[in-house]
Amino acid sequence: MTPATNSSNEPPKLQRNTLQLRHAIVMAVAAMSPVGAIFFNSIPQAGLVGAAMPLCYIIGFGVALLVADQISMMAAEFPTSGSLYTFVTQGLGVSWGFLAGWLSLISFGVTIAFVFLVMSANFQELLLHWFDVHLNWTLWYCLFALIVGAVCYRGIRFSLQLDLTLLMFELGVCLLLALIVLMQAGKTRQLTLVPFTLTGLPQHSNLVAGVILSILSFVGFESATTLGEEIQNPRQSIPKATVITLVLVGVFYVLMSYVATLGYGIHNMAAFTQDAAPFDTIARHVWGNGFALLIDFAGIMAGYASAVAFLNAAARIVYAVSREELFPRWLAHIHPTYRTPTNAIFVLSGSSAFVGLGLGMLWTPIQAFGFLGTVLTLAALAIYGLTSLACFRYLSTTRRTQLKQNSTRFGWLRHTLLPWLSMITISGVLVGTLYPPPPAPLHFAPVVVLIWLLLGIGVLRFLQIHKPEAIRRAGRLFVVDEAETLS
């Protein structure tokens, strides 16, 4: 691709119409990191539900589609890099929108550190196990952070092309493993529907907690909405990308969780929970050490692709909030050649490195990984809840009036019932995440999110007093831009 240039005297903006539907799908799939999620989330999940993991993912898939429906409707109305910040602003007002953007900062920012931690710690163990090379995880953390930051700096198409290549490798390796396991199970007549039923649950199981883990595996699907200003036909492409991504990843989760139960043995799931790398064990059993090595590298590549997607998404949200002067204006700087929000990328990369390295050295990488995962989960659930509420309010007020003017019927099912079901479901998942309280240091995560939220309220109050014009203008900026450039 020839780098874009800006010949006018106006500050450079994100380049419109540079992406297609496939790029949004790659962005969302990479952010969800289905390979990494199934490799790591399945371990505690097996301890909760045993062989019934596929059942959990089917239920979780339904819940994710419910939430995605609200986000897709708002993405069709407001195709913008502001993503959930803009959706909440348009539905609930600038103050709530700012808090959604503030929560997005910690959710996406923590996710970047979260991914780098698991990548660096696993890469350290992988090199030690396979090649007897011991280099501390902090070195790999810094190296991965530099590479990902440089790739995102270079341009959105460039980074998504790399993500596509890595996704094809990691998903291809996993699907090959699935094919081998299913063929062997078929030959030995071990194919069964038990994992899809309640009979797959062991004694003292916790189906609700298992479903919550499966729901959390879908977090990140909304990242494609941050491409609303760069993709062709955003009103159609973003909702399509969201649904297609969820269907593809949902099928992958169900398939791979089923392969996990067959490969390890339906009656041997207790051992699965004690295995630090159960898919490595399955791969070694079915096709030897070489295939196990490919599986291990697939997990590392999944982390890289996810980090690129989340850094790109987070930088665009920061850019959108900053150009409305609710964050420092210099964070809205766009590179004149690559059309990337470079300052936002630098700040997010630096802050995530500070957080990830600091917590990893304070505790251990695995403890920090669990802690940051809990923080991002709580923040993401809060944002999803705000978005569903904003969707309901927007559709039942402004959009309902527009529909009546166009003689279009207001749909009570999709425009009222589904948003409320989404909010109720998210509330239930949030309660299930908080209670019973997790062990230390995870139980500090709700406190961190609460402190961050209170800090955001303080910043918002400061803006309301000292920059009231930015608050008044923020709710209208997108509408003006939309009318001028997307109509």
Q: How far apart are CA 26 and CA 166, in angstroms?
A: 10
Q: Which residue's structure tokens are 């995560």?
A: 445
Residue 486 within any structural domain of the chain? no
Q: If 0-12 CB within 10 Å is exposed, 13-18 middle and 19+ buried, where does residue 356 land?
A: buried
At 437 the pLDDT is: 87
Amino acid, res. 14: L
At 478 the pLDDT is: 53
Secondary structure of residue 438 in the 3-state scheme: coil
Alpha helices in 334-438 (DSSP H): 342-362, 365-396, 398-405, 412, 418-434
Hey, what are 200's tokens? 């797959």
Kindly give the parts of the chain with pLDDT less than 50: 1-7, 407, 479-487
Q: How far apart are CA 374 and CA 356, in angstroms?
A: 14
Give CA 408 to chain center in angstroms.
Answer: 34
Q: How far apart are CA 38 and CA 254, in angstroms?
A: 10
CATH of residue 458's domain is 1.20.1740.10
Q: How far apart are CA 148 and CA 154, in angstroms?
A: 10
Q: How far apart are CA 167 and CA 272, in angstroms?
A: 26
Closest CA to 311 of 284, 340, 332, 288: 340
Residue 200 within any structural domain of the chain? yes
Q: If 0-12 CB within 10 Å is exposed, 13-18 middle and 19+ buried, where does residue 472 land?
A: exposed
Residue 405 within any structural domain of the chain? no
Supply the DSSP symbol for 51. G
Q: If 0-12 CB within 10 Å is exposed, 13-18 middle and 19+ buried, where does residue 213 land?
A: buried
Q: Which domain holds residue 128?
A: 21-398+410-475
Amino acid, res. 285: H
Q: How far apart are CA 413 and CA 146, in angstroms?
A: 47
Burial 282-300 (b: 16+ CB within 10 A, else e): bbbebbeeebbbbbbbbbb
Residue 403 within any structural domain of the chain? no
Residue 90 within any structural domain of the chain? yes
Residue 466 within any structural domain of the chain? yes
Residue 336 within any structural domain of the chain? yes
Alpha-carbon torsion (96, 101, 106, 108), positive or negative: positive
Secondary structure of residue 80 in the 3-state scheme: coil
Q: How far apart are CA 391 and CA 222, in angstroms?
A: 14
Q: How far apart are CA 95 and CA 475, in angstroms?
A: 9
Residue 383 φ then ψ, to 5°: -65, -40
Residue 190 within any structural domain of the chain? yes
Secondary structure of residue 445 in the 3-state scheme: helix
Condensed to tens digits (0 to 9), the pLDDT of residues 59-71 reads 999 999 999 999 9
Condensed to tens digits (0 to 9), the pLDDT of residues 274-330 reads 998 999 999 999 999 999 999 999 999 999 999 999 999 999 999 999 998 999 999
Q: Which H, E and C letters describe 192-211, residue by residue?
A: CCHHHCHHHCCCCCCHHHHH
Q: How many domains does the chain have?
A: 1
Q: How far is CA 441 from CA 114, 117, 202, 367, 373, in A?
A: 15, 16, 28, 7, 12
Closest CA to 151 of 291, 389, 315, 362: 315
Hey, what are 224's tokens? 């494609």
